[in-house]
Chains A and B, each alone.
Chain A
Amino acid sequence: MLKILKYSFYDLMRSRWSYVYFLFYLLLGLVLLFLNQDLSKAVITLMNIIIILVPLIATIFGVMYFYNSREFTELLLAQPLKRSSIFLGQFFGVAGSLTLSLVLGLGLPFIMYGLVKSDVILNFSLLILTGAFLTFIFTGLAFNIALSNENRIKGFGYAVLLWLFMAVIYDGLFLLSLIVFEEYPLDSFSLAATVLNPIDLSRILILLKLDISALLGYTGAVFKKFLGTQLGFLISGGVLLLWTLLPIWRLTAKARKKDF
Chain B
Amino acid sequence: MIQIQDLQKRFGKNEVLKGIDLEIPAGGIYAVLGPNGSGKTTLIKSVLGLVIPDKGSISLSGERIRNRWRYREALNYLPQIANFPGNIRVRELIGMIKDLRQKRSEEAALIELFRLQPFLDKKLSNLSGGTKQKVNLVLTFMFDSPLLILDEPTSGLDPASLLSLKKLIRKERENGKTLLVTTHILQFVEEIADQVIYLLEGKIYYQGTLSGLLEKTGQTDLEHAIAAITSEKQDA
A257 near B52 with CB under 8 A, answer yes
If A77-B50, A80-B72, A260-B50 touch, does A7 touch B101 (CB 8 Å cutoff)? no
Q: Are B52 and A79 in contact (CB under 8 A)?
A: no
- Decide if B69 touches A3 in the complex (CB within 8 Å): no
Q: Cβ of A69: which chain B residues have Cβ within 8 Å of it?
A: 85
Quick one: closest B residue to A85, CB to CB?
B69
Contact count band on A? 20 to 34
Docked-complex contact A74 and B79, CB < 8 angstroms? yes
Option from B50, B72, B85 in Cβ contact (under 8 Å) with A11: B85
* Cβ-defined contact, A3 with B101, below 8 A: no
Instruction: Report which of B50, B71, B84, B96 forms a contact with A78, defined as CB distance below 8 A.
Output: B50
A71 touching B83, Cβ below 8 Å:
yes
A143 to chain B, nearest CB (A): 17
Scan B30-55; emit 1 where CB is below 8 A from any A CB, else 0.
00000000000000010011111000
Contacts between the two chains (Cβ within 8 Å), count: 59
Q: Chain A 61-97 against B: per-residue CB contact (8 Å), 1 yes, 0 no?
A: 0000000011110111111111100000000000000
By beta carbon, the residue of chain A nearest B69 is A82
Chain A CB within 10 A, most for which of B49, B69, B87: B69
Interface string of B80-113 (1 = CB under 8 A from A): 0001111110000000110111000000000000
Cβ–Cβ < 8 Å partners of A183 in chain B: none
Complex: how many Å from CA A134 to CA B83?
A: 33
Whether B69 pairs with A83 at a CB distance below 8 angstroms is yes
Q: Contact between B97 and A79 (Cβ–Cβ < 8 Å)?
A: yes
Closest 6 CB pairs of A and B: A80-B72, A71-B83, A80-B73, A72-B85, A78-B77, A259-B51
B11-A259 in contact (CB<8A)? yes
Q: Is A41 an interface residue (CB 8 A)?
A: no
| B145 closest partner in A (C-beta) | A80
Interface residues in A6-28 by Cβ distance below 8 A to B read: 7, 11, 14-15
Cβ of B54 to closest chain A Cβ, rounded Å: 10
The residue that A75 contacts in the complex, of B45, B83, B87, with Cβ under 8 A, is: B83
Whether B234 sits at the interface, judged by CB under 8 Å, is: no
Q: Within the assembled complex, what's the spacing in Å between the Cα atoms of A71 and B97?
A: 14
- Give 10 pairs: A residue, B residue, CB < 8 Å, sorted on A: A15-B87, A71-B84, A71-B85, A74-B79, A79-B72, A81-B72, A259-B11, A259-B52, A260-B45, A260-B50
Chain A residues whose CB sits within 8 angstroms of the CB of B101 once the complex forms: 79-80
**Contact indicator A75/B52 (Cβ below 8 Å):** no
CB distance B72 to A256 under 8 Å? Answer: no
Distance between B226 CB and nearest chain A CB, rounded to angstroms: 28
Counting chain B residues whose Cβ lies within 8 A of the other chain, the interface size class is 20 to 34
Check: B14 CB closer than 8 A to any chain A CB: no
Judge if B70 is at the interface, Cβ distance under 8 Å. Answer: yes
How many angstroms from the CA of A81 to the CA of B79 in the assembled complex? 16
B67 within 8 A of A: yes
B100 touches A76 (CB 8 A): yes
Contacts of A80 in B (CB 8 A): 69-73, 101
Quick one: closest A residue to B77, CB to CB?
A78
CB distance from B134 to the nearest CB of A (A): 16
B83 and A78 contacting across the interface, CB-CB below 8 Å? no
B211 CB to nearest A CB, Å = 34
Minimum CB distance partner of A78 in chain B? B77
- Report A-chain residues with C-beta under 8 Å of the C-beta of B11: 259
Q: Chain B contacts of A70 at CB under 8 A?
A: 83
B70, closest chain A residue (CB): A80
Select the residue from B67, B83, B101 with max chain A CB neighbours within 10 A: B83
Q: Which of A132-170 contact B (CB under 8 A)?
A: none
Provide the A203-231 mask, 1 if CB < 8 A to any CB of B, else 0: 00000000000000000000000000000
B157 to chain A, nearest CB (A): 20
Residue on B with the closest CB to A68?
B85
List of B residues within 8 angstroms of A74 by Cβ: 50, 79, 83
A258: nearest chain-B partner, CB-CB:
B52
Kindly state the separation between the CA atoms of A83 and B69 in the bound complex, as whole angstroms: 8
Q: Tell which of A7, A82, A256, A260 touches B96, judged by Cβ atoms closer than 8 Å.
A: A7
Contact of B100 among A11, A71, A79, A258 (CB under 8 A): A79
Chain B residues with CB under 8 Å of A258's CB are: 52
